[in-house]
């Protein structure tokens, strides 16, 4: 008789996922964009593009440039606003079963709270990821993500306005990631996610002009993976709430690495652009790995790093 | 955004290369067996190709469909950068991952009194299916730096299109920009308003066609080229400023070239200052 398939279920606060593999905010639209290419209901969760109260236009073009093993983007968080999101995308999402995590942001602490309170009333939304770390918003979010008091206030304020699972998304460009993780846990977060894109810049040497209209942007893709592994490992060691690892996943290998470092779940971002079904391959690859290593549940993998010397 | 994304014909397929060779000057034709996509192609649509052997470059590259039938789809390209240079090592029988057909192409089912195509670079390939689909043939203006940049003349002549060529160095056709030849042609028409343009080429060419369409009260369908990430509407990298239809004070919004475009009518487009 063959071994039963390994148990891939994980929990983020009250939210149970059928498997630990989600798609990262901003790399998968709101769902319909990839629905013709990917069986989205197989995903552990779908994290939609960042939403604030009002519709937002975003940055000028060029908004992205390809660099070695990654890309730098400065999209500028365009979006339909919370009401536009509910009206346009919730009907589509209601025809699917995948857990939905809405990535939210605001220019003030109060705005985070308002968006959270509005989405609290929407049954189809399972959790909120709080983007306090986008490098492309000049006022507001960057400041939030790098100031411990601001992060604490955002999380506390959102906690008061919703009973849904809340997941602050940390900035990678701070000196002390564990401290930020602990602040989030103390302020009532159910989980934390990291890393967001890494502040970056590219210049055209012939014209001596920046490659992006926004001058600077955020680096994503394989180039940031080792940075992310270290930060996930540090964060997971500092808190008892689940950590969601992301940054440069292109196959099951990077996802497994995050989980060994302590991540309960992972998110695939930039790799969706080149291979829309990569997340499904990551799910299958994790299951195959667990079987090969005689693990019955993905929980045996989480935080299983062996730090003995020699 | 006006596109209902969940109703698109696009799919991701493994395409098998059936032909890959130099066709005109530095331009190569890459033909692939990929029936499910080829059958669904509309004129002006594109495919997003994963180029093998790109090493540390992680994104796909978009290519307009040159020809498509029940089984085969081909694109025409010139090596200009990392991706297109790596493409030259693709061999017959290789498998390539392809997503398509993508975007909203040119409208071709309506009656057009005087169709005028204006093409530069790969635009000459991108407009071939438009010429095939339009109900009546017309005139195509091709522009390039020199004779080696002029493509597909035989293809257009074989379907009874009047081909007019302009090169900047005068090595083929009239000397100068394609707009010089175009302006002469339009000036000789009894009613210039009968002209409807279908254009694909460098931004400066599109802008020039746009200016003429506005000045002469003509329609112009322009296929714009923007750097792309996902190609399917998710990343918001490829956006173009589009005029708000009802606005009187120049309000605009972004639309995705990969999804609402790449073809827009000239009156919709708000050009950037440096275009
Ligand atoms: C709708 C559409 C249809 C097209 N059809 C054709 C066609 O039929 N034939 C053809 O030859 N070409 C076509 N192109 C252009 C083709 O995709 C480019 O030639 C190709 O992207 C350049 O790739 P490369 O890797 O050779 O050059 P690269 O070395 O990648 O780039 C050349 C320059 O463009 C920049 N760049 C390229 N891609 C991106 C990106 N995604 N994001 C940011 N910067 C970028 C680079 O930074 C560099 O400055 C089309 C483009 C579009 C948008
Ligand atoms: C085009 C693009 C748009 C993004 N938009 C958002 C966003 O709206 N909110 C957010 O929190 N993160 C956003 N991100 C960051 C990703 O969610 C993710 O944290 C990052 O890309 C790292 O993962 P990766 O290396 O797998 O792409 C975006 C990333 C990209 C490439
Ligand atoms: S290329 Fe991603 S939205 Fe158009």
Centre of ligand 1 from the C-alpha of residue B227, in Å: 6
Residue A306 inside a domain? The answer is: no
What is chain A's alpha carbon radius of gyration, rounded to the nearest angstrom? 18
Q: What is the CATH number of the domain that holds A173?
A: 3.20.20.70
Can you tell me which residue has the tokens 């919370």?
Answer: A82
Per-residue pLDDT of B100-110, as tens digits, reads: 999 999 999 99
Closest CA to B152 of B183, B135, B131, B167: B131
- From the list A26, A32, A221, the residue facing B58 with the nearest CB is A221
H helix count then E strand count, chain B: 7, 16
Residue closest by Cα to atom 14 of ligand 2: A26
Residue A201 inside a domain? The answer is: yes
CA B243, distance to chain mean position in Å, is: 21
Closest CA to A159 of A128, A196, A201: A128
SS3 A109: helix
Q: Which residue has the higher pLDDT, A141 or B157?
A: B157
Per-residue pLDDT of B35-79, as tens digits, reads: 999 999 999 999 999 999 888 999 999 999 999 999 999 999 999
Protein residues whose CB sits closer than 6 Å to any atom of ligand 2: A 24-27, 49-50, 73, 75, 77, 103, 131, 134, 169, 196-197, 220-221, 224, 246-249, 268-271; B 235
Predicted local distance difference test score (pLDDT) of residue A174? 84
CA–CA separation, A65 and B59 (whole Å): 10
Residue closest by Cα to atom 8 of ligand 2: A50
Predicted local distance difference test score (pLDDT) of residue B35? 97
SS3 A258: helix
CA–CA separation, A31 and A102 (whole Å): 11
- From the list B8, B12, B59, the residue facing A273 with the nearest CB is B59
Q: Per-residue pLDDT averaged across B155-184, rounded?
A: 95
Q: Which position among A48, A125, A134, A298 bears the catalytic label?
A: A134
CA–CA separation, B99 and B148 (whole Å): 30
Indicate the DSSP class of residue A44.
S
Q: In this structure, are strands B46-49 and B95-102 parallel, antiparallel, or unpaired?
A: antiparallel
**Cβ neighbours, 10 Å, residue A34:** 27
Q: Per-residue pLDDT averaged across B190-202, rounded?
A: 95
| Segments of chain A scoring below 50 in pLDDT | 140-141
Predicted local distance difference test score (pLDDT) of residue A136? 53
What number is the ipTM of this complex? 0.94
Nearest CA in chain A to B49: A274
**Measured between CA atoms, how close is A206 to chain B, in angstroms?**
15
Contact A35 B5 (CB under 8 A): yes
Nearest CA in chain B to A88: B1
CA–CA separation, B171 and B216 (whole Å): 31
Q: Per-residue pLDDT averaged across B75-89, rounded?
A: 96
Per-residue pLDDT of B233-244, as tens digits, reads: 999 999 999 999
Q: Is the pLDDT of residue B258 over 80?
A: yes
Q: In this structure, are strands A265-268 and B72-77 parallel, antiparallel, or unpaired?
A: unpaired
Residue A247 inside a domain? The answer is: yes
% of chain B beyond a pLDDT of 70: 96
Which atom of ligand 1 lies at the shortest distance from residue B261's CA? 1
Task: Classify residue B174 by burial, with Cβ atoms within 10 Å: 0-12, 13-18, 19+.
Answer: middle
Residue closest by Cα to atom 32 of ligand 1: B81
Tokens of A52: 């604030």
Residue A114 inside a domain? The answer is: yes
Contact B232 A92 (CB under 8 A): no
Cβ of residue B126 lying under 6 Å from some atom of ligand 1: yes
Residue A307 inside a domain? The answer is: no
Closest CA to A196 of A75, A32, A100: A75
What does the H/E/C string look like for A3-20? CCCCECCEEECCEEECCC
Q: A2-18 as b/e, with b when 16 or more CB fall inside 10 Å?
A: eeeebebebebbebebb
**Cβ neighbours, 10 Å, residue A172:** 22
Task: Classify residue A266 by burial, with Cβ atoms within 10 Å: 0-12, 13-18, 19+.
Answer: buried
Structural domains of chain B sorted by starting position, each given as residue range(s) with its CATH number in brackets? 6-102 (2.40.30.10)
Q: Is A107 a catalytic residue?
A: no
Indicate the DSSP class of residue A56.
B
Predicted local distance difference test score (pLDDT) of residue A140? 47
Closest CA to A266 of A280, A278, A276, A256: A256
Domains identified in chain A, total number:
1
Residue A309 inside a domain? The answer is: no
Which of A33, A90, A249 would best serve as a mutation to test chain B binding (most B beta carbons within 10 A)? Answer: A33
- From the list B6, B59, B234, the residue facing A274 with the nearest CB is B59
CA–CA separation, A298 and A20 (whole Å): 8
Domain carrying residue A72 = 10-300
Closest CA to A20 of A259, A236, A292: A259
Which residues in A lie closer than 8 A to residue B60 (C-beta atoms)? 273-274
Test site for ligand 3: of B104, B224, B237, B242, most ligand atoms within 8 A of the Cβ: B237
Cβ of residue B231 lying under 6 Å from some atom of ligand 3: yes
Report the DSSP beta bridge partners of residue A206: none
pLDDT, averaged across chain B: 94
Test site for ligand 2: of A196, A199, A212, most ligand atoms within 8 A of the Cβ: A196
CA–CA separation, B27 and B63 (whole Å): 13
CA B57, distance to chain mean position in Å, is: 24
Query: Can you give the pTM of this predicted structure?
Result: 0.95
Per-residue pLDDT of B208-238, as tens digits, reads: 999 999 999 999 999 999 999 999 999 999 9
């Amino acid at each position: 008789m063959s071994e039963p398939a390994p148990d891939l279920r994980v929990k983020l606060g009250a939210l149970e996922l059928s498997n630990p593999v989600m798609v990262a905010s901003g790399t998968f639209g709101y769902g319909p964009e990839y629905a013709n290419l990917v069986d989205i209901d197989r995903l552990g969760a779908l994290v939609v593009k960042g939403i604030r109260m009002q519709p937002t236009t975003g940055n000028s073009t060029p908004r992205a440039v390809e660099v070695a093993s990654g890309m730098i983007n400065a999209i500028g968080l365009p979006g339909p606003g919370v009401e536009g999101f509910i009206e346009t995308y919730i009907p589509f999402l209601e025809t699917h079963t995948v857990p939905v995590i809405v990535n939210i942001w605001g220019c003030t602490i109060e705005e985070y709270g308002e968006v959270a309170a509005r989405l609290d009333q929407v049954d189809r939304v399972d959790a909120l990821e709080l983007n306090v770390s986008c490098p492309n918003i000049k006022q507001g979010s960057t400041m939030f993500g790098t100031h411990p008091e601001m992060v604490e206030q955002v999380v506390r304020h959102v906690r008061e306005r919703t009973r849904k699972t809340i997941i602050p998304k940390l900035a990678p460009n701070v000196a002390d990631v564990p401290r930020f993780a602990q602040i989030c846990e103390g302020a009532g977060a159910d989980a934390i996610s990291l890393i967001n894109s890494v502040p970056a810049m590219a210049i055209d040497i012939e014209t001596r002009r920046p490659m992006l209209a926004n001058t600077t942007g955020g680096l994503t893709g394989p180039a940031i993976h080792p940075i992310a592994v270290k930060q996930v490992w540090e964060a997971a060691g500092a808190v008892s709430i689940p950590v969601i690892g992301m940054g440069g996943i292109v196959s099951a290998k990077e996802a497994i690495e995050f989980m060994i470092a302590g991540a309960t779940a992972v998110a695939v971002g930039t790799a969706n652009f080149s291979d829309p079904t990569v997340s499904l391959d990551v799910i299958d690859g994790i299951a195959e790995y667990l079987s090969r290593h005689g693990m019955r549940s993905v929980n045996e993998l989480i935080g299983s790093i062996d730090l003995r010397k020699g | 955004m006006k596109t209902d994304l969940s109703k698109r014909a696009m799919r991701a397929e493994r395409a098998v290369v059936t032909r890959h060779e130099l066709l005109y000057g530095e331009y190569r034709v890459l033909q692939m067996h990929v029936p499910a996509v080829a059958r669904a192609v509309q004129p002006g649509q594109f495919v997003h190709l994963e180029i093998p052997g790109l090493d540390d470059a992680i994104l796909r590259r978009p290519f307009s469909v040159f020809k498509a039938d029940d089984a085969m789809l081909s694109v025409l390209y010139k090596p200009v950068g990392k991706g297109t240079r790596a493409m030259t090592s693709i061999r017959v029988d290789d498998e390539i991952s392809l997503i398509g057909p993508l975007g909203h192409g040119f409208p071709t089912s309506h009656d057009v009194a005087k169709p005028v195509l204006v093409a530069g670079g790969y635009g000459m390939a991108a407009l071939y299916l438009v010429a095939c689909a339009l109900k009546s043939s017309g005139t195509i203006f091709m522009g390039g730096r020199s004779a080696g940049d002029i493509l597909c003349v035989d293809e257009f002549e074989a379907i009874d299109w009047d081909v007019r060529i302009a090169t900047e160095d005068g090595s083929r056709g009239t000397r100068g920009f394609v707009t010089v030849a175009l302006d002469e042609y339009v000036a000789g028409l009894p009613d210039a308003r009968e002209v409807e343009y279908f254009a694909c080429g460098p931004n400066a060419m599109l802008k020039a066609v746009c200016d003429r369409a506005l000045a002469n009260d003509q329609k112009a369908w322009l296929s714009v080229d923007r750097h792309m990430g996902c190609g399917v509407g998710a990343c918001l990298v490829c956006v173009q400023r589009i005029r708000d239809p009802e606005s009187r004070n120049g309000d605009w919004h972004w639309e995705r070239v990969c999804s609402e475009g790449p073809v827009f009518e000239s009156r919709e487009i708000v050009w950037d200052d440096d275009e």
